Structure 1
Amino acid sequence: MKMFMFKSVLIASLMFISVLVGMQQANQGIHNMKGYKDSNFKSALTVDNGDKGDIAVSVLGKEVDSHDLEKKREKLEKMKVYNLFSATGKKIADTLSSLTEKLIIFISKI
């Protein structure tokens, strides 16, 4: 009986230590993934001011020009896509906002 208890306590303590070591490894992995200590970590968006006042923007290493953004905006306007979920969400938000406003006005009058 003593040997069984000794083995059980030994195995339980080994599992507990293994969990603690695993949590520490996961914590270090998260910090490395976020780039806290990584000197090679580069920002996803970089903005550089030129000598003549012009601004150079790069996203994920690719240069972005204002003409590219205009073309994309025009393309999206031509598509005229109706997003059902966006429209439904806007209606729900407007309804909840108006109900909340009416409730606050009602409570303030009391």
Structure 2
Amino acid sequence: MGKFVFKSLLMLIFLFVGVLIGMNKANQGMNDMRGYSDSSFQTPVNIQTTEEGSLNAAVLGNEFSSFNLDEKKEKLEKAKSFNFFSEIGKLVADVVSSIAQAVINFFASLF
């Protein structure tokens, strides 16, 4: 048992060191691919809070602003868009439910 634990820990340490070496090589590869080493390279995600208290985020240079979920829900309700697949799904669910209920009622009436 002790021999197994020792070998397992030794393998775990070996693999962990391998992961660290791989991360270092990946970093060097990214610097080589970029062509220069720049310590002031921009972060991919930038989040800022405005004076009004809302959040503005920029992901890879594309800006996103926070929104109110209730306002978006009201806007979608006003649009009253028709989703064909949603309606078909509701219809199929109702049919399956009614058939299952009829089968259950039939077997319940036998007993």
TM-score, reference length from structure 2: 0.39
TM-score, reference length from structure 1: 0.39
